[in-house]
């Protein structure tokens, strides 16, 4: 199994592949202030196994196109959508977030939780803008420094892992330069990281390691996750995911 297949195998049975939460999803959606009299066109980009895509299909009068480049995640999503009774409102699309087959101005809402870093925040919001209708809304979560300064250790770790990490005001500036008007922002609380992401992941590692007979690669992947969690627990005062809601300027 190559490293990508291992990552898929570790994550595919979990409800989330990154920090997030149901209440936070609703808070972001409220801030989006969508007009829901007519059916909405929605895209969820980097949808993983589908917690937000399914929630969007449940609460909105909408068609949701759920995009991910990993087919295994989309299969889990499709099963979960059937179980939730919303499969008829979700289309899955296997493809890359930086090469989307959509028409211009196709969507009222583009959603993306914990995924845009894969192409970079600035590149992502700039590229996706064309697919929003005029005054369409973007709801995107992105790792964010929550203070102006921080200990060297955590600064170095995240700058190496994701050089684009920044403060909320820096992200707002990116959104404004890319042609959006920011309309809401909040940070995800600790339970979104621990209860909803790191702990379910930790609980699935014993079986994962057994499945892979404690191979060096499997052990290394688990260790990487444990180190990331330990770092979070030590330095959570300095970073979180920020949820950014912004409207496309005309
Ligand atoms: N939104 C989900 C998943 C977040 S993890 C959640 O909040 O649980 C990031 C997701 O982005 C993964 O599912 C990964 O497969 C997907 N991804 C990474 N790079 C991608 C790319 N270039 N194109 C499309 N999806 C990508």
* Minimum-distance ligand 1 atom for the alpha carbon of 19: 7
Residue 54 makes CB contacts below 8 A (sequence gap 6+) with 77, 80, 81, 84, 86, 90
Secondary structure letter of residue 118 according to DSSP? G
* Minimum-distance ligand 1 atom for the alpha carbon of 73: 13
SS3 19: coil
Ligand 1 is surrounded, with C-beta below 6 A, by 16-18, 20, 46-48, 51-52, 68-70, 73, 96-98, 113-115, 118
pLDDT, tens digit, for every residue of 184-206? 999 999 999 999 999 999 999 99
Mutate to test the pocket of ligand 1, among 65, 68, 127 (most ligand atoms within 8 A of CB): 68
CA-proximal residue: ligand 1, atom 19 (nearest): 118
pLDDT, tens digit, for every residue of 78-123? 999 999 999 999 999 999 999 999 999 999 999 999 999 999 999 9
Q: Between 121-128 and 168-177, two packed helices, what is the crossing angle to 10 degrees?
A: 30
Please tell me the predicted confidence (pLDDT) of residue 13: 86
């Amino acid at each position: 199994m190559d490293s990508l297949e291992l990552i898929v195998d570790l994550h595919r049975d979990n409800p989330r592949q990154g920090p997030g939460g149901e209440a936070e999803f609703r808070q972001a959606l409220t801030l989006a202030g969508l007009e829901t009299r007519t059916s909405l066109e929605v895209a969820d980009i980097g949808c993983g196994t589908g917690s937000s895509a399914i929630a969007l299909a449940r609460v909105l009068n909408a068609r949701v196109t759920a995009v991910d480049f990993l087919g295994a995640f989309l299969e889990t999503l499709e099963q979960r959508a059937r179980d939730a009774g919303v499969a008829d409102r979700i289309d899955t699309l296997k493809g890359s977030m930086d090469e989307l087959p959509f028409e211009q101005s196709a969507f009222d809402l583009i959603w993306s939780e914990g995924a845009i870093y894969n192409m970079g925040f600035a590149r992502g919001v700039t590229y996706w803008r064309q697919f929003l209708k005029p005054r369409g809304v973007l709801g995107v979560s992105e790792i964010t420094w929550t203070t102006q300064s921080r200990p060297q250790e955590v600064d170095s770790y995240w700058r190496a892992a994701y050089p684009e990490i920044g403060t909320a005001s820096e992200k707002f500036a990116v959104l404004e330069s890319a042609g959006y008007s920011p309309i809401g922002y909040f940070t995800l609380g600790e339970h979104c990281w621990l209860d909803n992401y790191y702990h379910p992941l930790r609980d699935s590692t014993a079986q994962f390691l057994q499945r892979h007979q404690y191979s060096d690669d499997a052990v290394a992947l688990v260790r990487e996750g444990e180190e990331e969690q330990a770092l979070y627990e030590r330095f959570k005062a300095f970073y979180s995911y920020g949820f950014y809601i912004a409207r496309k300027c005309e």
